[in-house]
Structure 1
């Protein structure tokens, strides 16, 4: 067992027994880690607070990490970027819930990935600080594929379709996993965009849902364990 001090982003917190939580985090030092936080739901509990473990909260933790595939424990917690808008904005709440589910399902590695951690940290601070966020989740997910190893190969971007299985542009638009026409055109709008120019990309409600379904299918084809997030329906409702 080792005592580790690391930044961590909360992915999920599940109630365990009557008073405890099992918290899954993406840590800067060691990738995905799960912790048993005992007694945190007791009334008048001093020290650690359940509010620290809301989805996507950015923490600095001191934790006991063991190497036996059992739950780890947290000794100290500090919130290092208190979000200003996530708790009051219903749209952002829905985006946060959705993205925490996606990340829980798509990131499995218990190893350091500094570039991915920095991306998550920066993206969530951007989301907290900006108002026009209707397309944030789309670009966030597309960028995430780069860290997971299947960002679209744009070397032949002028072809008529995109093969979701192979991650390449293709003229074989009648193949099973190739998107073309409107699906393809809407998906293609996101390529090469950064968050600061995101408001220049316009989607109708129907187009936004279409692109999200395409991206979810893309994740499913490349990540064997990926499940459609339960919060997807809520997300589609708030952007109606």
Structure 2
């Protein structure tokens, strides 16, 4: 038996009463757990199964290479992100995003603490925090753009160049990228609300170039509608 702190990224119902959870944990990185009996009438904790909830799991090791089983879990963060429609939409988008790109991620404490920081920002109604967060992930993963004197970000090479190479990376969008990357407090960078849709599109383009097998999250359309 061991104890793990982790963020819930996704879950699926298994059979009548059980579930399979995908989590990013503090000590072991991405993990898949089997949770028995969570959907029984007596269960009082099914309400804890919300994306990006931070949980403490008591885990029984599986036999051989079998899946680890959760024997108990408690809620660690008390963010009320799910009554705010904008924050709720961001949570589902980011959890979908992380569930995809962290599948092969081992223990990564900087990344774990960055998720913590992001949920704090979002709970304080920083509705552009997901845009900053996605760029911070690129820096942790070592694939963020290299700073240079050019005014245009080339998404394929990851360099700032003197002439535009991609229509979405105009001078204004490229300037926002550079501001976030050079700021001592990136979450304080102001992104005009009218530019956020275009800026998110630019982030997705960059991920397609630099994260293997990246796919656009299914929840993109919803988050774009909310922030129009």
Unaligned runs of 5+ in 2: none
1:178 Cα deviation after fit: 8.7
Q: 1:52 aligns with which of 43, 48, 67?
A: 48
Query: How many residues get paired?
Result: 227
Give yes or no for the alignment of 1:166 onto 2:154. no
Aligned to 1:74: 70
1:181 Cα deviation after fit: 3.1
The TM-score normalised by the length of structure 2 is: 0.90
The Cα RMSD (Å) is 2.2
Please show how residues 1-240 of structure 1 align to structure 2 within 5 Å.
3-45=1-43, 49-66=45-62, 70-83=66-79, 85-128=80-123, 130-131=124-125, 133-154=126-147, 156=148, 158-174=149-165, 179-193=169-183, 194-198=185-189, 201-205=190-194, 207-240=195-228
Question: Equivalents in 1 of 2:64, 2:215: separation in Å?
Answer: 27
1:64 Cα deviation after fit: 2.3
- Tell me if the contact between 1:25 and 1:33 (Cα under 8 Å) persists in the aligned partners: yes
Question: Equivalents in 1 of 2:200, 2:143: separation in Å?
Answer: 16
The TM-score normalised by the length of structure 1 is: 0.85
* 1:186-229 superposed Cα distances (whole Å, 9 cap, x missing partner): 4434333425523xx14133x11111011011111111222111
Question: Equivalents in 2 of 1:224, 1:97: separation in Å?
Answer: 22
- Tell me if the contact between 2:29 and 2:108 (Cα under 8 Å) persists in the aligned partners: yes
1:236 Cα deviation after fit: 1.1
